[in-house]
Structure 1
Amino acid sequence: MPNRRILSLWFPRLGAERAIRLDPGLDRAPFALVREVGSAQTLASLSRRASAAGLHRGQPLRDAHAMCADLLTRPEVPHREAAFLGALHRWAGKFSPWVAQEAPEGLVIDLTGCAHLFGGEAALLAQVEEDCADLGLTVRAGIADTLGAAWALARHAGGGAAAHRSGDAIDQEARATRSRAGKRRHWERGGVAPASAAPPPDAARIAPPGQTHGVLAPLPVAALRLPEDSVEALHRLGLRRIGDLTGQPRASLARRFGTGLVRRLDQALGSAPEPISPRAAPERFAVRITLPDPIGLEADVTAALERMLPRLCQRLERAGRGARTLRLEAHRTDQSMEWRHVSVARPSHAPDRLHPLLAMKAAEIDAGFGIDMLRLEAIRHEPIRARQPVGHHAAGEAVAERLKAGDGLDDLIARLGARLGLEAITRVHPADSHIPEKGALTYAAAWSAPAGPWPRPPRPRPLTLWRPEPIHGPEGPTVPRQIRWRGRDLTIVHAEGAERIAPEWWLDDPDWRTGQRDYWRVVTDAGDRLWIYYAHGGALSPGWFCQGAFA
């Protein structure tokens, strides 16, 4: 059984380089992503030009602009960085099936038994760097027997130990006294002075099997993934490198710095286990067709869909999934791409239900100089229950049940949504409130079930409701004979009521600050059947208002 070998990948400029991939013009000047930290703005990810200008991560944006006037910035979008890291997760699957993410900028790969497929670990690292260079990404890698050691090599190999801010580090001493630093360190702690020369690149990135201790010894204590306060405390005691900790009694370290320090040290050296929990890359359902000659007619696109859609639906059916949203991409000969989205009210993997919707969207695609590749992907999918094939008699019963279940309504919603947008198709559900204008809730029809039976109101409600409009003229709670509403003088010939409705005392609704209301159904001489009320007054003055009209 080969020794366990772990590869740690760190992408220190992931966010900035992702944005540069989308807009190459951002790389013409120093560029950085900005993160909101409370009321301040700090730099979250920097390009190479920004780092060369002396900027660093975590620097306030004002200080960065003072140092680099031509700095370009964009706001950080964490979910897009996470999605991009997920794409790199799928790419890393070419090296090993055992891949885990270290959010927000790292990947961990278990290379046990896989490195020889690429010609060895050094050749594998060269392949990783070549792939990342093609993607326009900066990567730092480390290979070791443990996850902690690989993490330390990827982030700290080749660098010296960080000095404490007080200036007492040996690396900060004057040239005349620096030559005696090694002897003094040996006299104080019984150790040897660290090598002054940086290790070769390959040796810095790859720890030979069984030599983890020697490779980690010259690295700073921050490589143990310790909190900043613990690192600062170790620096104040002169413990700046991992080799300074390995010779110390574990009980003393645990008593002074907690068990976290000892656990991280043991994990890095392999004395304590640290399992890797790989997360399988999300399954993608997509098909494509490459055309020998460019096409531009709608009929050609529809014919290509007839070949692509059954294959996609078969993959969805085998996985027990149904498409909610499909994305149709048309790649043109001029290296441009146009896409259309289609959503359905209920997840499905039936081609006959999805093809009419895609055909409508195919007519909207501009072929330009010609389309040479089409791609169809289910970007949103949900699990659906399996169905048992039946005979002709049972199929008729199944159709009847389908009509009874409302599948025809779902198809109608999908067709209307393909033209108007699914967010424009809504349905109304009853709400648990005695306030007239709050008696119904509006939901998107595609993501809600049909409403159940509506509760019967204590009194008839108007067909149309609007915000309360003042009625001029009358005073007092008695129903007036003459009113003026919307610029018209009306006479009330019949009135029926009253129905008293109290406000929701636990809410502060501006429309109900007039207190309790007495509602009346009135008929005017002009034929209007109105719903008016008298507000008894609360925070506002009392008066008459009109809120609705009956059919």
Structure 2
Amino acid sequence: MSRGVGKRALYLWFLRLAADQAARRDGLDPAEPFAVVAEAKNALRLQVLNRAAEAAGLFAGMPLADARAAVPGLLSRVRDEAREERLLAALHRWAHRYAPFIAVEAPDALVLDISGCAHLFGGEEAMVEKLRAEAEDLGFETRAALADTKGAARALARFGGKTVEISPPGKALQMIRSLPVAALGADAQALRRLGLKTLGDVARLPASELTKRFGAGLSRRLEEAFGRSATPVAPTAVKKRYSARLSFPEPIGLTDDVMEGLKRLVTAVAEKLEEDGHGVTALELIIQRADNSSEITSIGMARPSVDVAAMMRQWTPILDRLDAGFGIDVMRLIVRAHAPLEVKQSAIGEMTSKGSIEDLIGMLGNRLGFDRITRPLPAESHMPGFNEARVPAVSGPKPPAWPKPEAPGPLRLFRGQPVEPLGPGRPPERFRWRGKTYGLKRSEGPRRVLPEWWQDDPARLEARDYWRIETESGERLWLGADPAPGSERHWSVYGEMP
């Protein structure tokens, strides 16, 4: 008796997960050719196609330009892997009604350990059909396979060619012998070069010879596929979701009513997060109108927060522009991102100001985009212009203390504005800068900055001499030049001194 008997693994493959997701979201007609595309080999290529696109002769990997030439009416969407990951996580939570142990196999499959569960649904066949029917009702096309091990179930689902494959206990070998060697994964091409086309061909070879040539990994996958050994389904941890929903007996439309409803939702999710020691960094509000239309708005927070008042201040300018239409029936608030709260001890008598820097960053980020709001951090470089790095203001490492400069530096840095020498000297006694002529009153220097030879940036491979100068008209500048001797020295202004 094989070791896999008693254990049953169900492999649920979502054939067109990305395409089905886009079709559900955008309400696309399934009869219209549609494909999800992504950049590969310097071109946009088809990744996931619906049935209509495949029936029109298109295939995965085909350049989008060629596909549109062949099918002018082809619709396409750029692939959003993060959205697909969230969808698969949602399907993972949904599938827990069928089995307690479920593993996510990215990007488009679930593996369920249904040992001891099938009788609750009227047997294995009835359970599989019910699972697939519910997935179809949700708008997803699936293939399912049931076997003693997840390796055998995966091979049957992806390469068996049938919508449903159920292997009786202990019969995996007979079921998968005719499947192509591609069912084993990465070594398929090498196996085909040896003239091995099916799993049955591979099974006839001594395991020791396979291990010598291909390593233990292939033998292990082969043993699992044949049901001779079983790797248990390692359940994927269910990520806790934070959300709240509010339904109204009568549609609402006044801004004050919407704000009050939102405040209740924000309070509910903030309390849940605070219990777990986390704070909000991104929120999404979905409103459902009486005419069945919907609208989605979102905000971000500069720091993890459970401060309801601070979050409501971010929502206020957004909700002022919200169109309630014929009234709002349902409001749903979803926490899209959260992080551990930063514990901070307040001083006695300290009060929180409404005009905090976090509020300002959040307000600017929600208007302009958080990627445009940055803050400086010290960088490990002794070269002017490279000893500072810019990181997003809403994330990134905790800012360290700025090191004390070795010598007074400029208050304002330039990238190097050319100077035309009009007289002799180092630095020149007279020079033209920004179209104006200046006379030298006093100078201090030079201070030579050596190149950072270990860096790849060409701008860091040049040595330069710097002078602090004061002009006759009172300007205090930071003047620099390459250290080459003679009058061919190139001068530039690199900053303004205090």
Gaps of 5+ in 2: none
Do the aligned partners of residues 471 and 94 (structure 1) sit closer, same or farther apart at CA in structure 2, a change above 3 Å counting?
same
Asked if residue 400 in structure 1 is aligned to residue 360 in structure 2, the reply is: no
Q: CA deviation at 1:348?
A: 2.5
Asked if residue 232 in structure 1 is aligned to residue 192 in structure 2, the reply is: yes
How far apart are the structure 2 equivalents of 1:511 and 1:245?
A: 57
Asked if residue 315 in structure 1 is aligned to residue 272 in structure 2, the reply is: yes
How far apart are the structure 2 equivalents of 1:472 and 1:294?
A: 72
Asked if residue 501 in structure 1 is aligned to residue 479 in structure 2, the reply is: no
1:186 counterpart residue number: none
The equivalences for 1:528-539 within 5 A come to 528-537=475-484
Q: CA deviation at 1:280?
A: 1.8
- TM-score by structure 2 length? 0.83
Q: CA deviation at 1:122?
A: 2.5
How far apart are the structure 2 equivalents of 1:484 and 1:58?
A: 59
1:168 counterpart residue number: none
2:220 counterpart residue number: 263
Give the alignment's Cα RMSD to 1 decimal. 3.9
How far apart are the structure 2 equivalents of 1:540 and 1:139?
A: 77
Do the aligned partners of residues 435 and 145 (structure 1) sit closer, same or farther apart at CA in structure 2, a change above 3 Å counting?
closer
1:437 counterpart residue number: 385
1:283 counterpart residue number: 240
Aligned amino acid, residue 122 of structure 1: E
1:369 equivalent among 326, 345, 358: 326
1:349 counterpart residue number: 306
2:106 counterpart residue number: 103
Aligned-partner SS, 1:99: strand
Q: CA deviation at 1:88?
A: 2.1
How far apart are the structure 2 equivalents of 1:438 and 1:549?
A: 17
Q: Deviations over 1:42-77 (max 9, x none)?
A: 543222122223444455668766765655555544
Task: Decide whether the 8 Å contact of 1:326 with 1:377 is kept in 2.
Answer: yes
Do the aligned partners of residues 156 and 516 (structure 1) sit closer, same or farther apart at CA in structure 2, a change above 3 Å counting?
closer
The equivalences for 1:444-455 within 5 A come to 444-447=392-395, 449-450=398-399, 452-455=401-404
Q: CA deviation at 1:115?
A: 2.3
Q: CA deviation at 1:520?
A: 3.1
Asked if residue 332 in structure 1 is aligned to residue 289 in structure 2, the reply is: yes
Task: Decide whether the 8 Å contact of 2:438 with 2:471 is kept in 1.
Answer: no
Aligned amino acid, residue 328 of structure 1: L
Q: Which has the larger radius of gyration?
A: 1
1:524 equivalent among 461, 472, 485: 472
Aligned amino acid, residue 205 of structure 1: E
Q: CA deviation at 1:102?
A: 1.9
Aligned amino acid, residue 99 of structure 1: I
Aligned amino acid, residue 366 of structure 1: D
2:410 counterpart residue number: 462
Task: Decide whether the 8 Å contact of 2:423 with 2:430 is kept in 1.
Answer: no
How far apart are the structure 2 equivalents of 1:534 and 1:386?
A: 49
Select between 347-356 and 8-17 the one with higher mean Cα deviation: 347-356
Asked if residue 489 in structure 1 is aligned to residue 449 in structure 2, the reply is: no
Q: CA deviation at 1:316?
A: 0.9
How far apart are the structure 2 equivalents of 1:256 and 1:489?
A: 78
Gaps of 5+ in 1: 160-200, 388-396
2:116 counterpart residue number: 113
Q: Deviations over 1:449-504 (max 9, x none)?
A: 4552541342x333333233233352443454544333333444x21312323342
Do the aligned partners of residues 465 and 128 (structure 1) sit closer, same or farther apart at CA in structure 2, a change above 3 Å counting?
same
Q: Deviations over 1:177-201 (max 9, x none)?
A: xxxxxxxxxxxxxxxxxxxxxxxx7
1:390 counterpart residue number: none
How far apart are the structure 1 equivalents of 2:338 and 2:265?
A: 17
How far apart are the structure 1 equivalents of 2:27 and 2:112?
A: 30
Q: CA deviation at 1:130?
A: 2.1
Return the structure number with greater helix share: 1
